[in-house]
Amino acid sequence: MTLTLFNPFAWGDAEKAVLDRDGHLVLPGALTTEAREALLLALARIREQQIAHGPESGPDDPSPCRYAAEHDAFLASLIPHPQLLELARAALGPVIRYDHCVALHRDPAFQGLRWHSHEYADDEPRLGFLRIFFYVNGFAADDGGLKVVRGSHHFRDSAVSLRSDAELEAAWLPNKRHSATGEPLRIERLSAPPGSVILMWTHALHGVTPRRPESPTRWSVVYAYRNPGRPSRARWLSEEFERRPPPGAEGLMSLY
């Protein structure tokens, strides 16, 4: 029997329009209790493997966190989950590929994540790349919270990499306006209750605030899907996993 991944949530033309306009969409509390419990166990297992694996040596290091679904049967089983694929296709259209699954543990020592975006077919807007974040125990805006800039994905600037809000405000934001609303681009700090799901287009600028020292680990995982047509630099997928995908995921693994 397939685990119920999502609680009922609104999805239609209005939600798709928000995602396309702003670059991200929050679905508060979308994960079921059953899914959250199973994800917590899986992510704890990945964390144990990461500790045993040691520090990542570089972008090609097949670490348990970067290749999370390849290191845990439950995480792998979600790649072709009907509800997850339905959500991905609602944003991307019917023809999609699995790109990667990354575990994102944010413990109390986490000092935040710099502002950045990601590339994919930068010169071909019809090809989409979507990240679907599962925030198992949620986050507060000032405690490992996600920072965004609505409309930044329209600039398709995958070269941004800035350490602080001040640097972003000084070096990238000036004179930029939202292409749909005309409003000046600005930094926003999100918060999300436990079990929230956030969809984000790959070119959307984002960062993460530091954790509070007294806070428990923030458990989350991201599943990424894309329209085929161009190579993906973030396609963290081993040849073995591609040859032997989890049941139901066979048609999602090819590059094109």
CATH architecture of 26-53+63-244: Sandwich (2.60)
Q: Is residue 138 scored above 90 in pLDDT?
A: yes
pLDDT digits 0-9 by tens, 42-64: 999 999 999 998 877 666 678 99
DSSP for 120-155, written as a single string: SSTT-TTS-EEEEEEETT-BBTTBS-EEEETTGGGG
pLDDT at 1: 64
Rounded-to-integer distance, Cα 88 and Cα 85, Å: 5
Please report the beta strands in 7-72, taking only residues with DSSP state E, as ranges in sequence order: 24-27
DSSP for 154-199, written as a single string: GG--TT-EESSHHHHHHHTSTT-B-TTT-PBP-EEE--B-TTEEEE
Cβ atoms of 75 and 101 within 8 Å: the answer is yes
Q: Is residue 2 scored above 90 in pLDDT?
A: no
pLDDT digits 0-9 by tens, 229-251: 999 999 999 999 999 999 999 99
Non-local (6+) Cβ contacts of 204 within 8 A are 23, 24, 117, 148, 149, 152, 153
For the chain, percent of residues with pLDDT exceeding 70 = 98
Cβ atoms of 55 and 185 within 8 Å: the answer is no
Rounded-to-integer distance, Cα 126 and Cα 196, Å: 28
Six token digits for residue 106: 């944010």
The whole-number average pLDDT for the span 59-72 is: 89
pLDDT digits 0-9 by tens, 168-211: 999 999 999 999 999 999 999 999 999 999 999 999 999 999 99
pLDDT at 55: 79
Rounded-to-integer distance, Cα 20 and Cα 83, Å: 20
Given strand 206-208, what is the order of strands in its sheet?
161-162, 113-116, 206-208, 146-149, 187-189
Rounded-to-integer distance, Cα 77 and Cα 2, Å: 10
pTM beyond cutoff 0.85: yes
Helix, strand or coil for residue 115? strand
